[in-house]
A and B are shown apart, each in its own frame.
Chain A
Amino acid sequence: MSKIPLQFRHNGRDVAIFVDGGTNLLVALRELIGDMTPKFGCGQGGCGTCSVLIDGELHLSCLTLAETVAGRSVETLDGMKQGPNLHPLQRAFADHFAAQCGYCTPGMLMAAKALLDRNPAPSRDEVVEAISGNICRCTGYEPIINAILAAAGGRVSA
């Protein structure tokens, strides 16, 4: 079966790859672009660790048909870094012990970014809702919620 050419913006950079029909965006990002920051957890939409932003909206890359991002902008955790500095959300996660094994962290950070980009001063309930599609087996969620609230409150310096 022939490969399909696909072009999109990946963290602000234009990329062009060839995908097999039916390939999901997570596989395209990890195996064809080499961006290992979105993780594979379940491939079923259930865990959220593969979360990315498509045109600023939170999507599950494992359930996204790669071809549907043609011409669109895809943002992953890799795009969050700012040179040698951590993004304020990353800083807050570190300061509040919001990552233990770290497997959920890429998805949590993308879900948090999707929230704060839209709503810079969320309530605690809004934070809980924003990460409700992301599973964490380690932290019990409280440190993650606190980290996101702290980043939003600007109490964590970049």
Chain B
Amino acid sequence: MAVTVKTFANASEAAGALSSDRSARYVGGGTLVMRALNEGDVSISTIVRASDQALTRIDASGPRVTLGAGVTFARVLAERDLAFLHAPARSIGGPAVRNMGTVGGNLFAPSPYGDFTVALLALDAIIAVAGGFGARDIPIEEFLQARERQAGTLVLSVSCTRPASAEAFRFRKIARIKPKGGAVITLAAHLPISGGRIAGARIALGSMAPTQIRARAAERTLEGRSLDAATIAAAASAAAEGTSPSDNALGSAWYRREIVGVHLRRLLSGQE
């Protein structure tokens, strides 16, 4: 079935078009939207695009990094200043999907997808959105919790603070098919160190709940500690607390709960 495609040169006009039409869907890289159209999803009658250059801008020169929603994973990988985001970007799809898929689209990708978003959640990213009400910034956790209700808002960019060192930010995606495959689970950890102790630990998990979530119990075991064997063991045993994974073709909920602590322990102890 043919749909109407509306292309806007300006992001705020695109946001206006999205918020005024319930059946309109924004298309970023299209890797999920085109899939839905090819399958004959009749709930989409209008496709909104924006060619606004602001959406594909990368600002990675300073301590605060901003990625336009339309930035592709291939572009993240091409940017030397974004080395801390290379592991999550590389974990996605094959090369064609990385050339097409965007950071903005990843925020909406349902499980088993959304690997890049797991990294952004551990980094306490801020999501800049535009809707009928104008533009505003939303902390990523709040954004994800209300994701179902975000239809009609346009994500403009995501931003986060650059981790202090390579060890301070870690990412791990567990997949059965390598190098390409959907995640069984995905983990990211941000461990800022202050005076030898962890201050502001963030552990984010993918495929452990309907959206990406923080492992708050595990974070608490890390807070104020140094990253020694006892602390790592405590974090690993708390990893599954508060999670609600489900069964899918890649793994069962039981299996996910069993392995999440194992992989968190490996991630925190720097094991491959």
Contact = CB atoms under 8 A, between A and B. Distances in A.
A65 interface: yes
A65 B179 contact: no
A92 interface: no
Contacts of A105: none
Contact of B95 (A24, A67, A129): A129
Contact of A48 (B5, B30, B39, B94): B94
A35 interface: no
B180 interface: yes
Interface string A25-39: 000000000000000
A43 interface: yes
A128 B34 contact: no
Interface stretch (A52-60, A75-83, A140-148): A52-60
Interface residues on A, range: 20 to 34
B27 interface: yes
B27 A21 contact: no
Interface stretch (B96-104, B116-124, B162-170, B217-225): B96-104
A44 B180 CA distance: 15
Contacts of A21: 2-5, 47
A124 B164 CA distance: 34
Interface string B170-197: 0000000001100000000000000000
B180 A22 contact: no
Interface string A45-88: 10010010000011110111101100000000000000000000
B37 interface: yes
Given A45-B97, A63-B31, A129 B179 contact: yes
Interface of B: 1-5, 7, 27, 30-31, 34-35, 37-39, 47, 49, 74, 93-97, 99-100, 179-180
